[in-house]
């Protein structure tokens, strides 16, 4: 195994929530539907808002990595949903499914793309940097989901 293969394997572990932190699936497993939109006292977000934020940000990083004509949403307003709860169980499931699909596409990009070359239409970003940023971003917000669940007595 060469060093690039080792790096790819570690990135796959990181994107899939491995090693030192809980992954999104585990953080959401068994969450009662009535708690998805609860915003604990003095906290700025509900679990739904965090899930949607993860989805939107990951999608943006992925699309930027693939497409020079991609236009990012306006920061920060378009990265955070206004509604605290999903409109339906279907909206909840659709958001989670999109996170999984985009993560799988990032994984394909890792396996087939050049991790180290600068993205031609960026300002110094590489696929490696985008993947690390996406994984770090998700891990940060998954920790917030776990904390909210603890505050709600649902962890």
Q: Which two tokens stand for residue 30?
A: 């068994």
pLDDT score recorded for residue 16: 85
d(CA 100, CA 8): 18
pTM over 0.85: yes
Q: Looking up tokens 């060469």, which residue turns up? A: 2
d(CA 73, CA 70): 10
pLDDT band at 98 (very low <50, low <70, confident <90, very high): very high
Per-residue b or e along 79-94, where b marks 16 or more CB atoms closer than 10 Å to that residue's CB? bbbeeebbeeeeebee
pLDDT score recorded for residue 18: 66
Is pLDDT of 50 > 80?
yes
């Amino acid at each position: 195994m060469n060093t690039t293969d080792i790096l790819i394997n570690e990135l796959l572990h990181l994107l899939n929530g491995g090693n030192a932190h809980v992954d999104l699936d585990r953080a959401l497993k068994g969450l009662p539907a009535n708690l998805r939109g609860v915003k604990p006292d003095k906290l700025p977000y509900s679990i739904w808002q965090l899930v949607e934020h993860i989805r939107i940000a990951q999608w943006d990083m992925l699309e930027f990595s693939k497409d020079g004509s991609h236009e990012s949403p306006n920061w920060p307003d378009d990265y955070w949903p206004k509604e605290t709860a999903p409109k339906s169980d279907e909206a909840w499931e659709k958001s989670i499914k999109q996170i999984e699909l985009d993560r799988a596409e990032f994984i394909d990009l890792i396996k087939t793309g050049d991790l180290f070359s600068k993205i031609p239409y960026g300002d110094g970003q590489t696929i490696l940097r985008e993947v690390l940023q996406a994984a770090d971003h998700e891990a940060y917000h998954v920790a917030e989901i776990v904390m909210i669940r603890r505050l709600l007595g649902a962890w």
